Amino acid sequence: MATCEKLAKCPFYQGQMDMDSGLGSLYKKRYCEGDKTVCARYMIATTLGPDYVTNSIYPNMVDLAKKMIAEHKK
């Protein structure tokens, strides 16, 4: 799969998470270089807009992303 187009500017990786080791490396491989559509941050940014993506939202927080999207649609 193609690398996520948001990776270079994703605030999550701009100082919050080391992308070259540990958990950051795993997240990058799975979400940024794998299937970006299952990244909570990507889901929120593309559905609600980037202003809804806070630094406290990790890529694996899909349940939170789905909840935020559902609540916004009400």
- What's the rounded mean pLDDT across residues 50-67? 93
Domain boundaries of the chain, sorted by first residue: 7-73
Q: Is the pLDDT of residue 13 over 80?
A: no
Q: How far is CA 19 from CA 11, 26, 65, 72, in A?
A: 12, 8, 22, 31
Q: Is the pLDDT of residue 48 over 70?
A: yes
What is the pLDDT confidence band of residue 38, given thresholds at 50, 70 and 90? very high
Question: 38-41 contacts: CB < 8 A, separation 24 or more?
Answer: 38/62, 39/4, 40/64, 40/65, 41/6, 41/10, 41/12, 41/65
Q: Is the pLDDT of residue 21 over 80?
A: no
Q: What is the pLDDT of residue 44?
A: 96
pTM for this one? 0.86
Q: Is the pLDDT of residue 62 over 90?
A: yes
